[in-house]
C-alpha cells in the first residue's frame, strides 16, 4: 500500500515536471512569435511611411510646373563625393545617374526626426501635412528626395545636364524614406515618374484647317505658316473638300508685314492695315491656288484647279479633335477615311455632385480641362467645377487658356480674345462669327452625333469687318467667305505659348517601383 502511494507521488511529480517544461516551451514560442509580430508590424509601418513619402513628394512636384524648372535647388549627381549617396544612389546605372540632378536646399528638419542632417538638406519641403503618429508609434519620421532626368533632344533615352542638349521631356525618381525613430525600423521605397503633355500645340500647323469647304476669296487675307509642310514649305489652307481662293490673297509673313506699319505686341508682330501683295511669292499667274493650298477639287496640276494634286483619302486627319487634342472623339464607321461617328462614351464624375455618368469623349475632356466654360444651360453648368465659371467677361483679352463656349460665342467688333503672351484656345460649339481680334487657336466644333461626310460637319466660321486671328483656326465644317478686309495670320510663336494651357500629366512608370536600395 505504501509502495503504491510512493509510485503515485513520483508519477505526479513527473507529470508536473513535464507540464512545467511544456509551459516554459510554450512561453518561449509565444515570446518569439510576439517579437516576430512586433518586428513585422514595425517593418510594415516603416514601409507605409516610405510609400506615403513617395506619394506626397510626387503630388508636391506635380502641383507646380515651375518646381521642375532650372534653379539653384537642382544640383548635379555627378558632383556628389559619394556616387551612391542619398538620393542619387537610388538610380543603379552610374552612367545614367551622372546625367541627372538631385534636389537640395537648406530647410531645417524635413523628415520630422528631431534633428537636421544631410538627408534633410536633400529632401523636398513636405512639412505641411506630414504624418506625426501611427497608432502607438508616436515618433515617426518620413521624407522624400528626388532625382531628375532632363532627357536629351537627340537621344531621349539619355539624361543630360547640358541645357543646350535638353529636349523638354523629363522623368524623375522619388526616393521615400520611412523610419520609426525609437524602434530601429526603417524603409526606403523608390518610384519613377514621367511628365507627359496633356496638350501639345503644333507651331507648324497651317493657319486654316477645315473638314469642309473653305472660301478664302477676297477680302480675306491669309498668311501662310512657312514651315507647315516641312522646313521651308508654306501652307495657308488644308481641307478635305474644296478651297476657293482669289489670286493674290495668301502670302508669306514677310510679304504681309511689309505692307504697312507693323507693331510688336508682347514680342509678336501685329498689323491691322497689312495686306498680301498682288505679286507675292505664293501668287501663281496661271492658277489662283498655289503651292500653299492643300484640298480636293479634281486638280491634276494643270487644269487651273490648283497647282497641287488632290489629297489622298487618308491625307487629311480623320478626327480633327484627335488631331488637335490627342483624344479620339470620333471613329470611321464605314472606312471612307472620315470619322463621322461618335467614339464610345467614357466615364465622367460631376465635381459638384460626385455623380457618375457617361459622356462623349470630347465633352468629358473639355469638362475636365477647360479653364472657363460658357454653359448652354443649367444641365451643362451642373457638370462644371466651380472655378470654371466665367469671372471675366466674354469676349475679353483677359481670357486665356482653354475656353469652351457652348452658346453665344460670337466675337463682336472691337472685342478681343487672348493676347500674344497669353493666348486663348477657344473651343466654340459653332457656328462662330468673328468681328474682333483673337490671339490663339480657334476650334469650331460640331457637337452633333454624326458628321455629314459631304460637308465635313455643320460647324461654320465666318469673319466680318475688321476681324483678325493671329494663330490658327480648325473647323469641323466649312469656312465661309469673309465680309471684311482683315486676315488670318499664322503665328507660330503665339501657338507655342499655348504649351501650358492644360497642365502636364505626371504618371508613374509601370514596373519602376523598387525597394532594392536602403538609406
Q: What pLDDT is recorded for position 308?
A: 72
Region 282-308 average pLDDT: 75
Reduced to 3 states (helix: H, G, I; strand: E, B; else coil), residue 169 is: strand
pLDDT in tens, 363-410: 999 999 999 999 999 999 999 999 999 999 999 999 999 999 999 999
In the DSSP assignment, the letter for residue 313 is: G
pLDDT above 90: residue 42 = no
Task: Retrieve residue 207's grid coordinates.
Answer: 493657319
Q: What is residue 31's three-state secondary structure?
A: helix
Question: What is the average per-residue pLDDT within 82-98?
Answer: 92
Res. 3: pLDDT tops 70 = no
pLDDT of residue 175: 97
pLDDT score of 38 more than 70: no
Residue 286 predicted with pLDDT over 90 = no
Q: Does residue 32 register a pLDDT over 70? A: no
Eight-state DSSP code of residue 311? P
CA distance 512 to 432: 47
pLDDT value, residue 272? 84
- Tell me the per-residue pLDDT of 186-244, one tens digit each, with 9 for 90 and over: 999 999 999 888 888 999 999 999 999 999 988 899 999 999 999 999 999 999 999 99
pTM for the predicted model, two decimal places:
0.77
What does the block give as the cell for 153?
533632344
Q: What rounded mean pLDDT belongs to the chain? A: 89
* Whether the predicted pLDDT of 27 surpasses 90: no
| Structure-model confidence comparison of residues 313 and 96, the more confident one | 96
Tens of pLDDT, residue by residue over 108-143, are 899 988 899 999 999 999 988 788 888 888 889 999
**Sequence-ordered list of residues with C-beta below 8 angstroms from that of 295, at least 6 positions apart, any chain:** 214, 237, 238, 239, 240, 241, 242, 243, 289, 306, 308, 310, 311
Report the distance separating Cα 470 and Cα 478, nearest Å. Answer: 19
- Which residue in 259, 251, 328 sits closest to 490, CA to CA? 251
The torsion angles phi and psi of 101, rounded to 5 degrees, stand at -115, 160
What CA–CA distances, in Å, run from 316 to 150, 296, 299, 376, 456?
A: 34, 10, 16, 31, 11
278 versus 75: the higher-pLDDT residue is 75
Contact assessment for residue 331 and residue 365, using Cβ atoms and an 8 Å cutoff: no
Mean pLDDT calculated for residue range 285-309: 75
**How far, in Å, CA of 443 to CA of 262, rounded?**
27
| pLDDT cut 90: percent of the chain above it | 65
pLDDT tens per residue, range 394-450: 999 999 999 999 999 999 999 999 999 999 999 999 899 999 999 999 999 999 999
Q: Once rounded to an integer, what is the mean pLDDT over residues 306-330? A: 88
pLDDT attached to residue 77:
96
pLDDT at 344: 96
Q: What is the pLDDT of residue 486?
A: 82
Model confidence at 5, pLDDT cuts 50, 70, 90, reads low
pLDDT at 210: 97
Using the predicted structure, report yes or no on whether residue 29 has a pLDDT greater than 70. no
- Region 56-71: what's the mean pLDDT? 91
On the 0-12 / 13-18 / 19+ scale of CB atoms within 10 A, 154 is: exposed
From the list 68, 54, 225, 187, the residue with the least C-alpha distance to 126 is: 54
Per-residue cell: 515: 525597394
Q: Which 3 state secondary structure label does DSSP give 471? A: strand
Which of the residue ranges 2-16, 127-141, 486-500 has the most confident prediction, judged by mean pLDDT?
A: 486-500
Strands 140-152 and 101-103: antiparallel
Angle subtended at Cα 444 by Cα 443 and Cα 447, rounded to the nearest 5 degrees: 120
Please check the confidence at residue 262 and state whether its pLDDT lies above 90: no
- State residue 43's pLDDT score: 87
- CA distance to 45, 88, 134, 384, per residue, from 38 (Å): 11, 32, 14, 49
Amino acid at each position: 500500500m505504501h509502495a503504491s502511494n510512493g509510485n503515485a507521488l513520483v508519477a505526479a511529480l513527473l507529470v508536473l515536471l513535464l507540464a512545467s517544461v511544456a509551459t516554459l516551451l510554450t512561453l518561449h514560442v509565444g515570446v518569439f512569435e510576439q517579437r516576430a509580430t512586433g518586428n513585422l508590424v514595425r517593418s510594415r509601418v516603416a514601409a507605409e511611411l516610405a510609400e506615403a513619402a513617395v506619394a506626397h513628394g510626387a503630388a508636391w512636384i506635380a502641383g507646380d510646373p515651375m518646381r521642375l524648372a532650372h534653379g539653384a535647388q537642382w544640383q548635379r549627381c555627378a558632383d556628389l563625393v559619394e556616387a551612391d549617396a542619398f538620393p542619387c544612389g537610388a538610380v543603379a546605372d552610374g552612367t545614367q545617374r551622372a546625367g541627372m540632378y538631385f534636389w537640395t536646399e537648406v530647410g531645417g528638419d524635413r523628415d520630422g526626426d528631431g534633428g537636421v542632417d544631410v538627408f534633410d538638406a536633400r529632401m523636398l519641403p513636405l512639412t505641411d501635412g506630414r504624418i506625426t503618429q501611427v497608432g502607438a508609434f508616436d515618433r515617426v519620421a518620413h521624407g522624400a528626395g528626388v532625382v531628375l532626368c532632363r532627357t536629351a533632344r537627340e537621344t531621349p533615352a539619355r539624361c543630360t545636364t547640358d541645357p543646350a542638349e535638353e529636349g523638354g521631356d523629363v522623368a524623375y525618381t522619388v526616393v521615400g524614406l520611412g523610419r520609426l525613430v525609437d524602434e530601429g525600423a526603417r524603409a526606403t521605397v523608390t518610384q519613377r515618374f514621367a511628365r507627359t503633355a496633356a496638350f501639345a500645340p503644333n507651331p507648324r500647323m497651317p493657319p486654316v484647317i477645315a473638314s469642309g469647304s473653305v472660301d478664302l476669296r477676297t477680302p480675306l487675307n491669309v498668311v501662310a505658316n512657312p514651315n507647315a509642310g516641312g522646313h521651308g514649305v508654306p501652307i495657308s489652307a488644308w481641307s478635305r473638300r474644296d478651297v476657293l481662293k482669289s489670286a493674290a490673297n495668301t502670302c508669306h509673313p514677310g510679304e504681309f508685314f511689309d505692307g504697312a506699319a507693323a507693331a510688336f505686341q508682347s514680342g509678336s508682330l501685329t498689323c491691322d492695315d497689312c495686306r498680301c501683295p498682288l505679286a507675292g511669292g505664293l501668287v501663281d499667274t496661271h492658277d489662283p491656288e498655289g503651292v500653299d493650298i492643300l484640298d480636293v477639287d479634281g486638280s491634276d496640276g494643270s487644269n487651273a484647279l490648283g497647282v497641287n494634286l488632290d489629297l489622298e483619302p487618308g491625307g487629311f486627319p480623320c478626327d480633327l479633335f484627335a488631331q488637335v487634342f490627342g483624344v479620339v472623339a470620333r471613329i470611321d464607321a464605314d472606312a471612307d477615311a472620315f470619322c463621322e461617328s461618335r467614339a464610345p462614351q467614357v466615364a465622367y464624375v460631376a465635381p459638384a455632385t460626385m455623380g457618375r455618368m457617361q459622356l462623349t469623349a470630347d465633352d468629358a475632356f473639355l469638362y475636365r480641362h477647360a479653364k472657363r466654360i460658357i454653359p448652354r444651360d443649367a444641365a451643362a453648368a451642373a457638370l462644371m467645377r466651380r472655378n470654371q465659371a466665367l469671372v471675366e467677361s466674354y469676349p475679353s483679352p483677359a481670357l486665356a487658356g482653354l475656353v469652351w463656349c457652348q452658346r453665344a460665342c460670337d466675337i463682336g467688333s472691337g472685342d478681343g480674345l487672348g493676347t500674344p503672351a497669353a493666348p486663348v484656345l477657344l473651343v466654340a460649339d459653332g457656328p462662330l462669327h468673328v468681328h474682333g481680334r483673337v490671339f490663339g487657336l480657334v476650334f469650331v466644333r460640331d457637337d452633333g452625333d454624326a458628321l455629314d461626310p459631304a460637308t465635313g460637319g455643320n460647324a461654320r466660321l465666318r469673319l466680318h469687318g475688321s476681324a483678325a486671328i493671329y494663330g490658327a483656326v480648325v473647323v469641323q465644317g466649312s469656312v465661309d467667305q469673309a465680309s471684311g478686309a482683315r486676315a488670318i495670320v499664322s503665328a507660330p510663336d503665339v501657338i507655342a505659348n499655348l504649351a501650358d494651357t492644360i497642365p502636364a500629366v505626371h504618371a508613374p512608370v509601370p514596373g519602376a517601383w523598387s525597394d532594392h536600395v536602403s538609406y
